[in-house]
């Protein structure tokens, strides 16, 4: 076998999304050759995903013409040749627009290829004594075979041009019996699980993902962050993302002994268990955070600002954020003043306007409304665009307003006088009441989010749309 020595490590995309062909540096002399078949740090720099392999398998083939496949397993594979030469064929057997796409290549010991879950893999040996290696990121088990997808090597639609005709090749009876493409059931994508699916944001996420059958929704009855059994209720190998829109949000009640325990149990202990789950199963964890992690003394809050929570609720949200931040694949979505389907400030003010009530509303806390539909769209954008993992502020655009300003806008849009709303200080509003401290400024910088290509609509426009609908 003739191998080109000392090629640079390079990656080449193929017609099948996610399938990447690699040239590997091979170093040789009079004794033979040596290569780094798998070098995580270097390969991550040339488009190989960090797929966390756990098992290495070797297929040894005595004779040229041995042909195996086409098998699509429910895990990712990094495939290379240890010795000899093969003709490889790969067919996309995943649900989606690229189902049936084919890529073929001849590989020797100086090349490797990454095959994502659901892409059918096959090869034919071109030399005697060829060894073919698989590095995979899940452990083989008999149970997993029920999740395989197969395609017949002779499928006419794929029309793979085997160098050695299949009539002259060595095939197993099982491979000969695999179905044609028209009868193949595509491998479905891994699932996304949305927690807190019955809250304001959860309902908006239901709407945002109503066209995606791979997204599953769970309210507290289906998945309670405080219940041990919830975390063992699913086969997490079938998931790739968790969106956590569940939280304890009773800001004032959290200041009581019972509320304090409940807030920590949900917002910290439950979130820590989600984080551990995400690390163990290599999941992406999207966690919804709050402006209450800050004391509000800065005019605008960036993602890099240090935590400075004033009350128990803010302390638990800050602790949850800190836990999630150690998950390798995470998005912390920080938002404020959420308005969605259900009871919220805007609907309360609209009802007061309709009843002719003239409310007193706090005028020394400023921020921007965050409409749940736009938060959900922002989350979907971050996941779909492959934005860098980390923390992102997500709210609506526009100028800072006080609660009293927003209340006056609501009254005006409802045909009532702005003067019906009386502004009062936070201190006066909560006088003689048990209340958690509030950050005086909740304005979030949106620069980092906008740099990913997502530009939220203004809160003013969304408010008008809501009240005119």
User: Which pair of structure tokens corresponds to residue 450?
Assistant: 């906008």
Q: What is the 3-state secondary structure (H, E, C) of 111-168?
A: EEEEECCCEEEEEEECCCCEEEEEEECCCCCCHHHHHCEECCCCCCCCCCCCCCCHHH
pLDDT (0 to 100) of residue 41: 87
Nearest alpha carbon to residue 196 among 170, 226, 165: 226
Q: Quick one: pLDDT at residue 288?
A: 98
Q: Compute CA 404 distance to the chain's CA centroid, rounded to the nearest angstrom.
A: 37
Residues 66, 30 contacting (CB under 8 angstroms)? no
Tokens of 382: 């971050």
pLDDT of residue 2: 66
Q: What's the pLDDT score for residue 296?
A: 96
Task: Give the chain's radius of gyration (CA, Å).
Answer: 28
Quick one: tokens of 265?
Answer: 């149990």
How far from the centroid of its chain's Cα atoms is residue 335's Cα? Answer: 18
Report pLDDT for 47. 81
What DSSP string describes 175-228?
Answer: HHTPPPGGG--PBPPPEEEEESTTSHHHHHHHHHTTT-TTEEEE-TTT--TT-H
Residue 413's alpha-carbon distances to 187, 202, 416, 464, 465, in angstroms, are 50, 27, 7, 7, 10
Do the Cβ atoms of 13 and 20 come closer than 8 Å? yes
CATH of 10-183, one of 3.20.20.70, 2.60.120.10, 3.90.25.10, 3.40.50.300: 2.60.120.10
Output the six-digit token pair for 248. Answer: 């304890």
DSSP assignment, residue 267?
Answer: I
- For residues 300 and 289, give the distance between their C-alpha atoms in angstroms, rounded to a whole number: 16
Which DSSP helix (H) or strand (E) runs through 427?
helix 426-429
The residues carrying an active-site annotation are: 71, 134
- Predicted local confidence at residue 432, as pLDDT: 86
Confirm if 313 and 261 have CB atoms less than 8 A apart: no
**Strand 111-115 versus strand 20-23 pairing type:** antiparallel
Closest Cα partner for 414 from 343, 360, 352, 338? Answer: 352
Closest by alpha carbon to 290, among 450, 438, 447?
438
Q: What is the pTM of this model?
A: 0.87
The token pair that represents 448 in the structure block: 């980092």
Superfamily for 191-468? NAD(P)-binding Rossmann-like Domain (3.40.50.720)
**Which among 376, 271, 259 has a CA at the least distance from the CA of 317?**
271
Low-confidence ranges of the chain (pLDDT < 70): 1-2, 31, 142-146
pLDDT at 327: 97
How high is the pLDDT of residue 28?
82
Peptide bond into 70 cis (omega under 30): yes
pLDDT at 142: 64
Domain boundaries, the chain: 10-183, 191-468
Q: ∠247-251-255 over CA atoms, to 5°?
A: 115
pLDDT digit string, tens, across residues 225-250: 999 999 998 989 899 999 999 999 99
CA pseudo-torsion sign 99, 104, 108, 112: negative
User: pLDDT value at position 380?
Assistant: 98
- Both tokens of 49, joined, read 């995903």
């Amino acid at each position: 076998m003739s191998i080109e020595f000392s090629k640079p490590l390079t990656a080449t995309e193929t017609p099948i999304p996610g399938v990447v062909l690699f040239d590997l540096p091979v170093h040789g002399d009079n004794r033979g050759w040596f290569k780094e078949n798998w070098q995580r740090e270097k390969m991550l720099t040339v488009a190989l995903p960090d797929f966390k392999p756990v098992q290495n398998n070797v297929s040894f083939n005595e004779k040229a013409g041995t042909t195996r496949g086409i098998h699509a397993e429910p895990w990712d594979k990094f495939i290379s040749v240890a010795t000899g030469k093969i003709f490889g064929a790969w067919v996309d057997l995943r649900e989606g627009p690229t189902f049936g796409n084919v890529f073929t290549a001849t590989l020797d010991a100086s090349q490797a290829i990454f095959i994502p879950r659901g892409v059918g893999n096959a090869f034919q040996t071109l030399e005697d004594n060829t060894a073919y290696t698989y590095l995979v990121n899940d452990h083989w088990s008999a149970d997993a075979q029920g999740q395989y997808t197969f395609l017949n090597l002779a499928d006419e639609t794929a029309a793979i041009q085997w160098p050695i005709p299949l009539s002259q090749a060595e095939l197993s009876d099982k491979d000969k019996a695999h179905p044609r493409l028209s009868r193949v059931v595509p491998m479905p994508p891994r699932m996304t699980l949305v927690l807190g699916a019955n809250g304001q944001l959860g309902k908006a996420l239901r709407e945002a993902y109503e066209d995606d059958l791979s997204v599953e929704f769970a309210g507290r009855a289906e998945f309670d962050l405080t219940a041990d059994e919830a975390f063992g209720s699913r086969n997490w190998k079938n998931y790739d993302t968790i969106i956590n829109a569940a939280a304890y949000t009773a800001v004032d009640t959290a200041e009581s002994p019972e509320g304090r325990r409940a807030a920590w149990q949900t917002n910290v202990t439950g979130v820590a268990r989600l984080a551990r789950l995400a690390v163990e199963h290599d999941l992406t964890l999207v966690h919804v955070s709050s402006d209450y992690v800050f004391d509000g003394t800065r005019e605008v809050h960036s993602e890099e600002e240090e935590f400075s929570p004033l009350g128990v609720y803010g302390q638990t949200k800050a602790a949850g954020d800190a836990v999630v931040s150690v998950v390798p694949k995470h998005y912390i979505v920080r938002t404020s003043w959420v308005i969605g389907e259900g009871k919220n400030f805007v609907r309360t003010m609209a009802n007061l306007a309709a009843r002719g009530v003239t409310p007193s509303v706090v005028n020394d806390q400023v921020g921007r409304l965050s409409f749940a539909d736009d938060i959900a769209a922002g989350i979907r954008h971050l996941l779909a665009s492959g934005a860098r993992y980390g923390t992102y502020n997500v709210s609506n655009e526009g100028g800072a307003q006080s609660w009293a300003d927003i209340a006056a806008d609501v009254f005006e849009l409802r045909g009532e006088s702005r003067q019906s709303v009386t502004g009062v200080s936070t201190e006066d509003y909560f006088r003689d009441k048990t209340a958690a401290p509030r950050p005086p400024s909740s304005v979030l910088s949106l620069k980092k989010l906008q740099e990913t290509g997502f530009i939220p609509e203004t809160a003013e426009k969304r408010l008008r749309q809501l009240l005119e609908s």
